[in-house]
Structure 1
Amino acid sequence: MVLRTSATLPRWALFVCRCTNGRPPSRNSIMSVDSSPSDTPAQRLSHIGLAWELTSVTGWGVYGTNVLRQLAVGGGPAPVLLKQPARFTPDPLDAVIFAPLLAQQQQLFAMVSQGGRVTPANLDFPVLKTLFPGFKTITAGRVFFGKPDIGVIFFENTRITPEEVSASRAYARIVAGSTWNRDVLRAHGVQGVELVLQGIDPVLFHPMPRRPFRSGTFTVFSGGKLEARKGQDIVLAAFRRFHARHPDSVLVTAWQNAWPEKTHDVAHSGLVQGVPETRADGTLDIGRWAVTNGLPAGSVLDMGWVAHKDMPRVLAACDAAVFASRNESGTNLPAMECMAMGLPTVVSANTGHLDLIGTVHEAPRVFALRDQRPVRHAPAGWGTDGWGASSVEELESVLERLYTDRDEARARGRRAAEFMCTLTWSGQVKALVDVVAGAIHP
């Protein structure tokens, strides 16, 4: 049946339908939204739901926050937030923009959880759902069903079973976050796969004057949650050699991991000893771990959890950035943001990073680690097609080049910033809306 709502609820709430026995209601129980003729399919969309957890400290959360912001202010389909944010610290202006959307989310959740029991519901507009291994979605994605559902996926494991391919058919479209992800899905027979890269916020991330935190230092930034896949063991091993020759160098890291128990594989390569201890507050003691691995105290500074809005200040203190990932399912949002700031950036030449590197016919905009070796310690049962382990020796050599040839480093940084102007969130969210519209009006 159709929920009866008060006049104070937004119009979209009138199109929520209840279902019984934990199953989505039949499609013929969903009310239709009248729309006037438009020039493009995207203009016919009135709303887009987001079964997406917003946070200020993870890639998924930052992606969702920017989708929500662009939809809220872009004049296109209105966003409907379906999941309560967590660890979310918007800036004051975003707080104003998001306030009514957060209130709507609470109202909608109350509508489907009457009597203390959550009942799945259909919505009369498309819903974007974040997908995880097996094409499964978060809790909100199992409660709210769109017309239709659109999946958004970033994955590392290239072993996709027939059962998972079958599960993918629940989505009218699946948005892949990198060319590598798209190609792997299509090779396994997944249908309706479209490519939409992430974007950058040029208000936050753009070339700006450097603001060193200490005079006379050469400061290298490295980000990403600590795990073997992100290659921090490679970075630490190469920086240890580099620092021995250049004691004026400092490694600034944003390597915290919300799941400390998942950091243990970082030592499997043998490039580093042990894993960081977990402090009483749940954060990883990266500085002490670096000392254990032969670096002087103070040569590695971990920033802890950095809110996204505060990251430009950290990057403005740096001379270069390094990302030696063995795999990137997407295009590595922190690397993109470093590039947008004109920071000379080093990336491993594998998987999602390939979208950032460009072709041999273009002037280089990053320093690509081309020596990619087979990955020896992947999770049991995983496929690792396209993964690669960067050479410590090559990264050490690139760091030396960054240190000695500042002119070339700055030139690549400028080209990187120019390239990132083509990948702003406003443009990428428009591309995402076009995919959604194409699923409804092919």
Structure 2
Amino acid sequence: MPVNAIALTWPPSAIHGWGVFGTNLLREALRRGDVKPITLFPMQAEYMNAADRERFQGLIAEQQQIEKQLAGAQGDITLGGVHVLHSLGNDLAEPPEAARFRGEPNVGFTFFENMVFAQDVVARNAHFQIMMAGSTWNAEILQEIGFPRVGCVFQGVDTDAFKPAPKTGWFGDRFVVFSGGKLELRKGQDLVVAAFKRFHERHPDALLVTVWLNPWPAIMQDLAASPHVSTLPDVNTPFPNCINDWVRDQGVPEGAHIDLSPTFNADMPALLQECDAALFPNRCEGGTNLVAMEAMAAGLPCVLSANSGHLDLTGSDLSENDRCYPLSRQSPVPFGPTGSEHWRESDIDEIVAALEAIYQDRSAAKSIGDAAHAFMRGWSWRNQIDRLLSELDRLTP
């Protein structure tokens, strides 16, 4: 059944994965003209660039009108003829304010990293006629636990913006290692710091550049479980100071690291073009790691943990990989939270060796970065949103 209208139950923005996904879905729907986009909650306009604020003026006005019309409404609200997309997290949960909206059909879109599911998880989510997953790994799990209609669509990349470009000299002649993603145990920034500290001892010209803003600072406290760090970020100190202070507390020298949070998505291409490598030793990704995808599209040689959603980037057969430096030594994480039995720990020695390989053989690293760029060209937001709409067409009862 063709998709005529699609509604979002989360706010688009430019600073985290869900927000960027929503923003690009709206952009593509407007570009296509054959699918009406609807946003059911206020946009985070302060976290959007000027072009998007202008582009979405009509949608913002419509959302405000919807909000007025629904003021005081009780119970569930059904949007006839609209595919309503719901963002689902661990245990396929969603905020109650979003759950009241029902589509025809109702679509659950999920990226989950925690494997603790309630026994009634399928029955509790029977109001979703379609479940969509952001990685092959997530999709296979949804099928295993019994959901009847499961689709899989990866996130996309703005391939017009994220592409190889010459350095402008922002960081001089430093060897720049980039790491991005909100700061938390799951994303492995403690491994980044531990590995970079060793690498910097060998190569004092190395510079670690991070964008680790976490919109939910309390989550950073789960780093207390890590054996690789001695202190925690101060949640009472604003970004980026709390990150810069924390990295220095781990023994990385002054001048060897800088965090540039917040950096809007539209400004990321200019930052990535100044870097020589990117590092993502994530312990688990329910999706395909948007920041890693953008780094690959920009032509950076990327060091990626070979687990969970990252396997859609590395490929399952690592022996045939020519588009990144996969971290193949993956072991269980004994200190993770409940439900993290499937998380995997990357080996710090292997991380350092991968950075060393990039540092020592820039020509080979460029070839890998070029292959990454070529691979990601097929993952443009235009292609991925087209695939999403095709999957919804296929799965709509």
Matching of residue 54 in structure 1 with residue 12 in structure 2: yes
Residue 436 of structure 1: aligned partner? 392
Q: Structure 1's 88 and 164: CA in aligned 2 closer, same or farther, altered over 3 A? A: farther
Name the larger-Rg structure. Answer: 1
Matching of residue 159 in structure 1 with residue 90 in structure 2: no
- Per-residue CA distance 1:117-167 (angstroms, 9 max, x = gap): 666421112211111233232355223211111110000112323211212
Residue 365 of structure 2: aligned partner? 409
Measured in 1, the distance between the counterparts of 2:241 and 2:152 equals: 35
Does the 8 Å CA contact 1:243/1:249 hold for their aligned counterparts? yes
TM-score by length of 2: 0.95
Q: Structure 1's 50 and 66: CA in aligned 2 closer, same or farther, altered over 3 A? A: same
Does the 8 Å CA contact 2:131/2:151 hold for their aligned counterparts? yes
Mean Cα displacement is larger for which, 80-89 or 193-202? 80-89
Residue 148 of structure 2: aligned partner? 191
| 1:298 paired residue among 255, 272, 279 | 255
CA apart distance, 1:280: 4.4
Identical-pair percentage: 38
CA apart distance, 1:252: 0.3
Measured in 2, the distance between the counterparts of 1:263 and 1:46 equals: 41
Unpaired stretches in structure 1, ≥5 consecutive residues = 1-40
Measured in 1, the distance between the counterparts of 2:47 and 2:340 equals: 36
**Map 1:10-409 → 2, pairs under 5 A:** 41-42=1-2, 45-86=3-44, 88-114=46-72, 120-124=76-80, 125-281=82-238, 285-358=242-315, 359-360=317-318, 362-380=320-338, 382-385=339-342, 387-409=343-365
Q: CA RMSD in A?
A: 1.7
Measured in 2, the distance between the counterparts of 1:360 and 1:292 equals: 35
- Per-residue CA distance 1:106-125 (angstroms, 9 max, x = gap): 101110105xx666421112
CA apart distance, 1:205: 0.8
Measured in 2, the distance between the counterparts of 1:397 and 1:285 equals: 29
- Per-residue CA distance 1:199-242 (angstroms, 9 max, x = gap): 10112211111233222200000011111100111110010000
- Report the secondary structure of 2:379's partner residue: coil
Paired AA for residue 276 in structure 1 = P
TM-score by length of 1: 0.86
Measured in 2, the distance between the counterparts of 1:155 and 1:290 equals: 28
Q: Structure 1's 338 and 106: CA in aligned 2 closer, same or farther, altered over 3 A? A: same
Measured in 2, the distance between the counterparts of 1:160 and 1:374 equals: 20
Paired AA for residue 415 in structure 1 = A
CA apart distance, 1:429: 0.6
Measured in 2, the distance between the counterparts of 1:282 and 1:253 equals: 12
Unpaired stretches in structure 2, ≥5 consecutive residues = none
**Higher relative contact order (CA closer than 8 Å, sequence separation 6+):** 2
Residue 5 of structure 1: aligned partner? none
